[in-house]
Amino acid sequence: MWPSIHPVIRRTTAYSWTTLDSRVEQAATHGVQDILYTVSQTPVWASAHPQQTCGSAVTGTCVQPSDIGSGDNYWKNFVTAFMSHRAAMAYGGLIKTIEVWNEPQNKARWCRPVQDAACDATWAMLATMIRDAAAIIHTTAGVSVALPGTGLKPSSGGVDASDNLLTELENLGAQDAIDIIAMHRYDTPACPDYPSATAILTDSGSITAFKSMIAGHDRQAAKPLWFTEGSWGPTAECADWAVDLAAQRAFFAQWFIGLYGEGVSRTYWYNWDINAKLWQSDSAPVGQVLDTTDWIPDGNGGKLNWAGAAYNRLQDWLTGITFANSPHGCTAENDVWTCEIKKDGRQARFVWYDRWGSTTDYVPGAAFSGGRQTQIDGTSRVIGDGSSSISIGPEPQLLEQLPPMILRLNPGVRLGPGVRIGPLPPSPGAAGPARN
């Protein structure tokens, strides 16, 4: 965040890099090779309206810099200082993508007149800041700029926000200021209903709607799609969800598989390691898969809960696969979701039943006779006759064709009467090769 690095005064020597440095070093010690850094919020000293209320954010930080119309130098000076520090810091090269602003459809991030009559921030102003930042960032090879992630839930207005920003970038002739298209989404459980991980594939705020919007903009459709933030949302309204580890694991797996099938090349699971109290005023986990406080039962030594443990399985499942169908890798019929894929050169399929707490019978088909059925918890079984039904539920399963069995024998090994492979030693007293 801009205010946390340059918080109170205008002198260029007042930057505070300590937190950034320690976080990047911590990531490096854990083997992270590629860091996304999001820059957002205007420091109060640079704010066009220092007294403007900003909802959940600090007063004065949700509006444009005061010099946006006279050179945008406060912002450009900061971005220049950031890139200089990145070059000098021990692990700065790990910061490979910079997301310019965060969820600008939200009043707490970018307050526009439609949200508050006292605000006068515009999409054109934010597009100017993106353009100005990109001009500085792109002077360093290997560093990309991401369009600010906007929420895709139908009620959030995120699709329209991204649409407006891309239009303003076009108006500036700055279509190539961004290298990556970013999105966000949270689906919040409200008992008795659990959140749907597949809603993002189907509703009016879906990735389909987002991709359709992107296709209408010059030179944007071919750029990588990233989810730079998302998970299940605050769960205070559904205490059952907070302790239903199987449901959380199902949501987690459906979410990653579904997004990958839609062409999302990178996904950041948000809030995976902290208590939601740090973000919302409720007492239930937001996307939490690492449990260091025993705050929820996890069945895995107080470290990874079931969803977290499933991540390794998903990495194995998704690495190197290709989806057979495009643009939608996964499709549904009667709440049964299937995703046809190629894995290790062989036919495979993800399948699940999108009804919480329910199962249904499913016939894999002859192609999977003698294949393998693997659950997200790692248990597996041979399918047998593919025309016979198997049981599926909300947790995705992987169906695979198995490679053909190759029998390798050493030369001379007898297989039985009348069969031999290779030369056999002479029979006792015989002058030539043994004959059977």
Q: What is the DSSP string of 222-248?
A: TSPEEEEEEEE---TT-HHHHH-HHHH
Give the tokens for residue 280: 């919302």
pLDDT category, 153, cuts 50, 70, 90? confident
pLDDT category, 413, cuts 50, 70, 90? low
Asked if residue 217 and residue 146 are part of one domain, the reply reads: yes
State how far the Cα of 390 lies from the Cα of 85, in Å rounded to an integer.
57
Give a yes or no: residue 238 inside a domain. yes
- The CATH code of the domain that includes 216 is 3.20.20.80
Asked if residue 42 and residue 137 are part of one domain, the reply reads: yes
pLDDT tens digit sequence for 83-108: 999 999 989 999 999 999 999 999 99
**What pLDDT is attached to residue 423?**
43
Instruction: Look at residues 124, 131, 102 and name the one whose alpha carbon lies nearest to residue 42.
Output: 102
Give the count of beta carbons closer than 10 Å to the beta carbon of residue 20: 20
The total of structural domains in the chain comes to 2
**What pLDDT is attached to residue 296?**
46
State how far the Cα of 292 lies from the Cα of 120, in Å rounded to an integer.
43
| DSSP letter string, 85-144 | HHHHSTTGGGEEEEEESS-TTSTTTS--TTT-TT----HHHHHHHHHHHHHHHTTSTT-E
Give a yes or no: residue 259 inside a domain. yes
**What pLDDT is attached to residue 11?**
54
Distances in Å between the Cα of 61 and the Cα atoms of 56, 109, 111, 228 are 11, 7, 9, 22
Give a yes or no: residue 433 inside a domain. no
Asked if residue 297 and residue 336 are part of one domain, the reply reads: no
For the whole model, what pTM was predicted? 0.85
**What pLDDT is attached to residue 433?**
36
**What pLDDT is attached to residue 104?**
95
Asked if residue 293 and residue 259 are part of one domain, the reply reads: yes
Mean pLDDT within 210-234: 92
**What pLDDT is attached to residue 293?**
52
pLDDT tens digit sequence for 269-290: 987 766 544 444 444 567 877 7
Instruction: Look at residues 361, 362, 383, 363 and name the one whose alpha carbon lies nearest to residue 372.
Output: 383
pLDDT of 367 over the 90 cut: yes
**What pLDDT is attached to residue 286?**
77
Asked if residue 344 and residue 317 are part of one domain, the reply reads: no
**What pLDDT is attached to residue 141?**
94
Which range (73-77, 170-174, 269-273, 348-352) has the least confidence? Answer: 269-273
pLDDT of 418 over the 80 cut: no
Residue whose pair of structure tokens reads 């699709």 in the numeric block: 159
**What pLDDT is attached to residue 66?**
96
> Taking the CA of residue 22 as centre, how many other CA atoms within 13 Å lie in the half-sphere pointing to its CB?
4
pLDDT of 242 over the 80 cut: no
Asked if residue 335 and residue 308 are part of one domain, the reply reads: no
State how far the Cα of 401 lies from the Cα of 399, in Å rounded to an integer.
7
Give a yes or no: residue 405 inside a domain. no
pLDDT tens digit sequence for 48-83: 999 999 988 999 999 999 999 999 999 999 999 999
Instruction: Look at residues 245, 230, 148 and name the one whose alpha carbon lies nearest to residue 188.
Output: 230
Question: Phi, psi at residue 312, to the nearest 5°?
Answer: -60, -40
Asked if residue 103 and residue 74 are part of one domain, the reply reads: yes
Do 160 and 153 meet the contact criterion of CB atoms below 8 Å apart? no
Which range (117-126, 281-290, 352-361) has the least confidence? Answer: 281-290
State how far the Cα of 18 lies from the Cα of 5, in Å rounded to an integer.
9
Strand partners, 151: 184
- The CATH code of the domain that includes 383 is 2.60.40.1180
Q: What is the DSSP code (8-state) at residue 411?
A: T
Give a yes or no: residue 416 inside a domain. no
Burial category of 69 from C-beta neighbours within 10 Å (exposed 0-12, middle 13-18, buried 19 and up): exposed
Asked if residue 366 and residue 315 are part of one domain, the reply reads: no
Instruction: Look at residues 79, 395, 44, 35 and name the one whose alpha carbon lies nearest to residue 250.
Output: 395
pLDDT category, 407, cuts 50, 70, 90? low
Q: For residue 199, what is the enclosing H or E element?
A: helix 199-202
Give a yes or no: residue 409 inside a domain. no
Give a yes or no: residue 128 inside a domain. yes
Asked if residue 221 and residue 365 are part of one domain, the reply reads: no
Asked if residue 379 and residue 305 are part of one domain, the reply reads: no
Do 270 and 38 meet the contact criterion of CB atoms below 8 Å apart? no
pLDDT of 250 over the 80 cut: yes
Give a yes or no: residue 423 inside a domain. no
Q: Is the dihedral of CA 363, 365, 371, 376 positive or negative?
A: negative
State how far the Cα of 170 lies from the Cα of 166, in Å rounded to an integer.
6
- Domain with 335, as residue range(s), is 330-400
pLDDT category, 391, cuts 50, 70, 90? very high
Q: State percent of the chain over pLDDT 90.
A: 64
pLDDT category, 422, cuts 50, 70, 90? very low
**What pLDDT is attached to residue 315?**
92
Asked if residue 272 and residue 185 are part of one domain, the reply reads: yes
Give the count of beta carbons closer than 10 Å to the beta carbon of residue 409: 10
pLDDT of 295 over the 70 cut: no
| DSSP letter string, 66-82 | TTTTTT-HHHHHHHHHH
Q: Give the pairing type, strands 225-232 and 380-382.
A: unpaired
State how far the Cα of 362 lies from the Cα of 370, in Å rounded to an integer.
16
pLDDT of 156 over the 50 cut: yes
**What pLDDT is attached to residue 434?**
37
Asked if residue 172 and residue 190 are part of one domain, the reply reads: yes
Give the tokens for residue 239: 């205490």
Please give the mean pLDDT across all residues of the chain: 86
